[in-house]
Amino acid sequence: MTYREKCDARMKRTQQRLDAALISTRFPEVSSIVVDMKQTRKGMVAFCLLRTLNFSSDSHAHFHVECLNKDCKDCTEGFDLEQVVAAMVRSHTFSREGELVCEGNGLTSGHVNITYNVTIQYNGNSEML
């Protein structure tokens, strides 16, 4: 990938994030969302990366996490937690754990897995169930 292609891809990702509605607009009952993730890859070059993503009500509702495996052929879009968050808000769930697995093919260094814990704080609720 050339430098120009990388810049174009980065600009596209930034624009997608900016095009997403604000959390206060999309989910007005939500005050904050915290996503704790552990990204792991096994294989010749194994790694484990811990990340925490914090979203406030004035953040963009863009819950996309890129796949860290650059050798991946089919997983160029990464992992999308949008459906997880939307389902939690619909059912008024405070916390959910799960795992997403890279479905890419042609990997030389192994699949990437994301283990996540999403915690949502709703407006007017200072305690979680």
Give residue limits of the domains in the chain.
22-122
Is there a contact between 21 and 60 (Cβ–Cβ < 8 Å)? yes
Stretch 88-92: mean pLDDT:
94
pLDDT value, residue 109: 58
pLDDT value, residue 107: 53
Is there a contact between 89 and 29 (Cβ–Cβ < 8 Å)? yes
Threshold 0.85, pTM exceeds: no
Show the beta-strand stretches assigned E in 43-94: 47-56, 64-65, 79-80
Stretch 41-50: mean pLDDT:
78
Percent of the chain with pLDDT over 70: 72
User: Which one is predicted more confidently, 55 or 79?
Assistant: 55
Instruction: Write down the H helix ranges in the chain.
Output: 3-19, 23-26, 82-90
Pull the structure tokens for residue 101: 């697995």
Q: How far are the Cα atoms of 68, 75, 106 from residue 71, in angstroms, in the given order?
A: 9, 9, 8
pLDDT at residue 29 is higher than 90: yes
Q: How far is residue 121's CA from residue 87's CA, in Å, rounded to a whole number? A: 14
Stretch 81-100: mean pLDDT:
93
Which of 5-14, 53-62, 85-94 is predicted least confidently?
5-14
Residue 47 burial (CB count, 10 A): 14
pLDDT value, residue 39: 87
Stretch 8-19: mean pLDDT:
68
Which of 55-64, 95-104, 106-115 is predicted least confidently?
106-115
